[in-house]
Structure 1
């Protein structure tokens, strides 16, 4: 299991919320950071999760694929952020 998804599940985040989070992440990564902050994760788990996201962006792609979402939206969002 993807470590980002594992952290979320270990902290009681259900599959529906995880799917929604990654949908937001694929469409607007900056908004997703705010959404992650609102999940109510303990501070140590939140820091671990954010560290995973920042240090290894490939995990996002893996999680999106594991959840069956469209990764091309992530690529499009990245291009828009770089402009």
Structure 2
């Protein structure tokens, strides 16, 4: 299992919320970061989670594919951020 998904499940985040979070992450990464901050994850778990997301885009791709979402939207969002 993807370590980002595993950490979210460990914090009792529902599958629906996880899927919704990654959908937001593929469409609007900045909004997703705000959403992650509102999940009620303790700071000692939240900081490593944010670092994982920011520093390892391959984990995002892996999680998106694991959840059955469209990875092409991640690529489009990445292009938007680079402009």
Instruction: Provide, for residues 41-66 of structure 1, a one-character-per-residue CA deviation record: whole Å limited to 9, x for no partner.
Output: 00011011011112211100000000
Report the equivalent of 2:75: 75
Q: Return the alpha-carbon distance in structure 2 between the equivalents of residues 54 and 19 of structure 1.
A: 18
- TM-score normalised by structure 1 residue count: 0.97
Q: Structure 1 residue runs of 4+, over 6 Å off? A: none
Which blocks of at least 5 consecutive residues in structure 1 are unaligned? Answer: none
Q: Are 1:10 and 2:10 counterparts? A: yes
Report the equivalent of 1:43: 43
- TM-score normalised by structure 2 residue count: 0.97
Q: For the aligned residues, what is the CA RMSD? A: 0.6
Q: Return the alpha-carbon distance in structure 1 between the equivalents of residues 81 and 53 of structure 2.
A: 16
Instruction: Provide, for residues 4-44 of structure 1, a one-character-per-residue CA deviation record: whole Å limited to 9, x for no partner.
Output: 00000000001000000000000000100000000000001
